[in-house]
Amino acid sequence: MSYLLWSVCFPCCFRAERRITAIDSDASSIPTSLNRQPDSAGSGVPVRVPTPAVNSEERTITFAWKPANASAREYPMSDPEGQHRILLTRGVENGNAYAVVVALHGQPRRGQAPRSYVFPRVVSEVTRELVQSEQIEPLILVTPVFRFEGENWPNFELVDFMAQVRRIISGLGLGIKGTYVVGHSGAAGCGGGGLNRVSSASPNAVGFFDTCVGAGFVQQVLALAKQRIPTLIIHSVETAGFQPRQPIEYDANFDFGKVYSNIGLRPATCPARLPEAPLRQLTFRCATNNSGTTLALVLDTGQGEKAHEALVPVALRYFLREYLRKGSR
């Protein structure tokens, strides 16, 4: 499945960001003063804590980390422009707590360098747009990356990754007020880790955006429902994972009822607030489970791969507005 190869432009201008770059060959370390703290497995490792955030300007931190059993080819961290990123949006100030949104990209081209991925830039622009227009509160956006060598998010454990993120955020003098996780395309349902293990992190809400509908997706939606974790599923086209395999890739006419009915969803009255793209005219265009914790929407963002790509900003705006709307908490 191809990765996003497009760019998205928004009608507003953004302030230049100030970047704090963390470069270290140790996958567990981050820059500035050394403090010895336990890693996620409990053993002591040197953790460099960044300088505290002292103002409300936008800042970006890049940092090196890879799963314990993954290779450097899958998580190449030597290039700071190709490392994981933490975006502190404008308005994030020292001593306060903020929501953390983790956004997982889909499947890139084999061997593509993470520094060239468009997804982190797109989700950053959408988040920045909503914060600056005061539709949502300032927040912390985390965009992890991997390089595709045959598997999506190989050995990626969200719990371990978030432990590292929490260490960095704490070192900046900031707190966390809830964790929200979203992913696109191969982030779920197509093997590997990523959103296929998201329930273990017990997030506040999860968003599946045109993700594959394979076993990992099905298992996680059911697990999240069991934990009563709010879950938003937004599809436009069928990408992969459904059995039997569909003859047309990026099929805009796919009946998502074939998937949704197997994860405890049924057609429902559509919510009063909807995304900016229209719904497709399908029976399961709006669906929910018995508890109402899971909502699925099928949007019309066009045809083929372009529809798959165009869904990202639409779905993310809706997710952030619904779960992080300013004044809603």
CATH for 249: 3.40.50.1820
Q: Which two tokens stand for residue 198?
A: 């998201």
Asked, for residue 3, whether it belongs to a domain, the answer is no
Q: pLDDT tens digit string along 28-48?
A: 333 322 222 333 333 333 344
Is residue 13 in a domain?
no
Quote the pTM value. Answer: 0.85
The answer to whether 153 and 196 have CB atoms below 8 angstroms apart is: yes
Within-domain flag for 320: yes
CA distance 64 to 66: 7
Q: Is the C-alpha dihedral spanning 277, 278, 284, 290 positive or negative? A: positive
Mean pLDDT of successive 10-residue stretches along the chain, which has 329 residues = 38 37 35 30 40 70 95 95 97 96 97 95 97 96 97 96 97 96 96 94 98 96 98 96 86 94 96 97 96 98 96 98 82
Q: Is residue 4 part of a domain?
A: no
pLDDT in tens, 54-81: 457 899 999 999 999 999 999 999 999 9
Tell whether 68 is covered by a domain: yes
For 191-237, the DSSP string reads SSSGGGGGGGG--SEEEEES---SHHHHHHHHHHHHTT--EEEEESS
Q: How many structural domains is the chain composed of? A: 1
258-265 CB contacts, 8 Å cutoff, 24+ apart: 259/213, 259/218, 260/233, 260/284, 260/287, 260/296, 262/218, 263/218, 263/221, 263/222, 263/225, 263/289, 263/294, 264/222, 264/225, 264/289, 264/290, 264/294, 265/289, 265/294, 265/296
Reported as half-sphere exposure (CB side, CA atoms, 13 A), residue 105 has a value of 28
Is residue 56 assigned to a domain?
yes
How distant, in Å, are the alpha carbons of 84, 98, 137, 196, 219 from that of 215?
27, 33, 35, 9, 6
Residues in the chain: 329
The answer as to whether 196 is a domain residue is: yes
pLDDT for 283-307, tens place per residue?
999 999 999 999 999 999 999 999 9
Q: Domain range holding 113?
A: 18-324
In a domain, 210, yes or no: yes
Cβ 154 vs Cβ 193: under 8 Å: yes
